[in-house]
Amino acid sequence: MMLAGLTASYFAFSVVHFLQFALAITVCGLYGVDLSRASKAGKYQDSKWIYAEVVGGISALTTLLYFVPHILRFAVVWAWNLILFILWIALFGVFGSMYIHEDPEGNKDIQRMKNAVWVDLTSALLWLFLALGAFGYWWRHRERHSRFTGRARI
């Protein structure tokens, strides 16, 4: 009975959120390798890698929250998606400047980081598309009231 109230747009958003969840977990794994290696060696853990883990973790938690029906109807969803887009673009910028022009020369760690940069960009673009989609959904389904008194629903 609960599934009857869910729309096709909810299922479309859920498919994209699942992809975002997979990308967030992938990013956590790709950057977590270096953090784990530094921790085991007793060395300094760079804040850039910690930032990547935090952005991946927040994104994964957000997508899990979005799987709850009717959460997507809140007005702040599109704004939160836009904030996550900005965080992902910053992550792409930081690691893109470090690794896009780097030649791996057989070094698997550099190749892994080059791949992580493209995962960052893909995730950022998905968050942008979802922010725009959530804004469109909110704009279309918001409550509208009359212009003069504000009491009548249009």
pLDDT at 154 over 70: no
Q: What is the pLDDT of residue 43?
A: 87
Residue 8's pLDDT band (cuts 50, 70, 90): confident
pLDDT at 1 over 50: no
Give pairs for 71-80: CB < 8 Å, separation 24+.
72/10, 72/13, 72/134, 72/137, 73/137, 73/138, 73/141, 75/138, 75/142, 77/134, 77/138, 78/131, 78/132, 78/134, 78/135, 78/137, 78/138, 79/131
pTM of the full predicted structure?
0.84
pLDDT at 152 over 70: no
Q: Which of the 8 DSSP states describes residue 153?
A: B
pLDDT of 25-71, one tens digit each?
A: 999 999 999 999 988 888 888 899 999 999 999 999 999 998 887 78
